Amino acid sequence: MNTSQKLITAVLLAACALQAGAAVKKAPHKSRLSKVHLATAQLSNNAGPAYAVRADVMQEADAMADRMALDRDWVRQAIGAARYMPGIAKAILPPPVGVPKNWAAYQGRFVEPMRIKAGSQFWLANRETLQRAEAETGVPASIIVGIIGVESIYGRNTGTFRVIDALCTLGFDFPASHPKAEARTAFFRGELEAYLALTARTHTDPLALRGSYAGAMGWPQFMPSSWVKYAIDFDGDGRVDLFNSQADVIGSVANYFKSFGWKPGMPSTFPVRIDEATFDKAALLVPDILPTFNVAELAAKGVLLDAPGNQHTGPLALIELQNGDAAPQYVAGTENFYTITRYNWSSYYAMAVLELGQAVAQALEMQAPDLASVTK
């Protein structure tokens, strides 16, 4: 069984309800798409033509249906009703070459009063569930709270794009100018297959769900394949619902990190001091954010840790946070820091998650002394 077949098998075996009350049946999905959604689905004014007019896409739809053992007509209708979205194709492109990164600006987008207030409310409302998730997985509540805040502002912004439009646009028209266009095209076609298999299995209209411009869904913004692999029923109602069940959201985020090897009790970063006389920045940044160096090797290359950092026995990475024209900031990232980047391959993202979670915890402790135990 090849990798694609294994993924499809996992989807069909592990898929559960995307919406409250959705039925799960063993028989192949034969029903037609909702006429209401076909007729009234909200589309961007600059949406391109429906993919039904593309012979190459319809041929691939048939191949997908065969690989997933789904009804060809149903898959053709779903993909054929999707629209090319130029805005999505533009949004997926990396920033122009030469535009400097700016950690201060990035940090300000996520670690700000509105998210901190919303995070405090979320933490208080779900403190028992967060404590249970931390106890069962070892993933700190602050990390879970930070992820959900960065991803969707605690459910306030889960995306307005039809998931089918996003996945088809990126699966069939990924910008050729992107340096990894071929690999990314394959990735998004795989996500489209996972999405169709999941919605077919749960009898959910594939035109109904909305998410990010990349096709991520729900409060934690899981891609379809991540939904299948890592989402769990944490409220015990017999289904997984990342749109409406905050318990399922919390448990699924914790399970995601546990699955990627989160090490309970290990800090994510350590502060560092740079010895300019011996600082070998070029060599230290070659592995990027993959923990590679021990404490002694960092010191030999001009990166000095504090007392707790010097006691760390695992591998570390030098994390550089650029600040535009200003001097960059540095921290040492542990294996847990690297695990956070499995959610989004960016050190800036991981730092925002960490700092938002910490800011929410501090806000709770300041509200009242008796709340301090909530964040421990």
151 catalytic, yes or no? yes
Q: Cα–Cα distance between 372 and 376 in angstroms, integer? A: 7
Rounded (5°) CA angle 187-28-56: 45
176-188: pLDDT as tens digits: 999 999 999 999 9
CB-count exposure of residue 371 (10 Å: 0-12, 13-18, 19+)? middle
Q: Contact 261/236 with Cβ under 8 angstroms? A: no
Rounded (5°) CA angle 141-146-150: 155
- Mean pLDDT of the 148-172 span: 97
Q: Cα–Cα distance between 322 and 209 in angstroms, integer? A: 37
Q: Tell me the β-bridge partners of 320.
A: 330
Per-residue tokens: 49: 């033509």
Q: Contact 239/55 with Cβ under 8 angstroms? A: no
Kindly give the residue spans of alpha helices, DSSP state H, lying in 243-367: 246-259, 281-285, 295-300, 307-310, 335-340, 347-367
Rounded (5°) CA angle 10-16-17: 150
Report the pLDDT value the prediction gives residue 296, as an integer from 0 to 100.
Answer: 98
Report the pLDDT value the prediction gives residue 94, as an integer from 0 to 100.
Answer: 85
**Beta pairing class for 303-305 and 269-274:** antiparallel
- Mean pLDDT of the 52-61 span: 97
Report the pLDDT value the prediction gives residue 38, as an integer from 0 to 100.
Answer: 36
Percent of the chain with pLDDT over 70: 86
* Cα maximum dimension of the chain: 70
216-237: pLDDT as tens digits: 999 999 999 999 999 999 999 9
**Beta pairing class for 317-323 and 210-211:** unpaired
Q: Cα–Cα distance between 284 and 279 in angstroms, integer? A: 9
**Beta pairing class for 269-274 and 326-333:** antiparallel
- Of 6, 7, 3, the C-alpha closest to 224 is 7
Per-residue tokens: 60: 């691939």
Angstrom CA distances, 122 to 234, 251, 372, stand at 16, 14, 15
Q: Which of 60, 128, 136, 151 is catalytic?
A: 151
Per-residue tokens: 196: 């169709």
71-90: pLDDT as tens digits: 999 999 999 999 999 999 99
Residue 33 has pLDDT above 50, yes or no: no
- Mean pLDDT of the 325-341 span: 97
Report the pLDDT value the prediction gives residue 48, as an integer from 0 to 100.
Answer: 87
Residue 135 has pLDDT above 90, yes or no: yes
109-123: pLDDT as tens digits: 999 999 999 999 999
Give φ, ψ of 85 to 5 degrees. -115, 100
| Residue predicted with more confidence, 375 or 82 | 82
Residue 108 has pLDDT above 50, yes or no: yes
Q: Contact 117/328 with Cβ under 8 angstroms? A: no
Residue 13 has pLDDT above 80, yes or no: no
Report the pLDDT value the prediction gives residue 97, as an integer from 0 to 100.
Answer: 76
Q: Cα–Cα distance between 139 and 144 in angstroms, integer? A: 7
Exposed e or buried b per residue across 39-53, where buried means at least 16 C-beta atoms within 10 angstroms of its C-beta:
eebeeeeebbebbbe
Q: What is the pTM of this model?
A: 0.87
Q: Which residue, chain included where needed, has tokens 């069984």?
A: 1
Task: Share the mean pLDDT of the chain.
Answer: 89
Q: pLDDT class for 335, splitting at 50, 70, 90?
A: very high
Q: Could you tell me the domains of the chain?
A: 40-84+159-216 (1.10.8.350), 103-155+350-375 (1.10.530.10), 269-333 (no CATH)
Q: Tell me the β-bridge partners of 323.
A: 102, 326
Q: Cα–Cα distance between 362 and 339 in angstroms, integer? A: 23
Report the pLDDT value the prediction gives residue 372, as an integer from 0 to 100.
Answer: 63
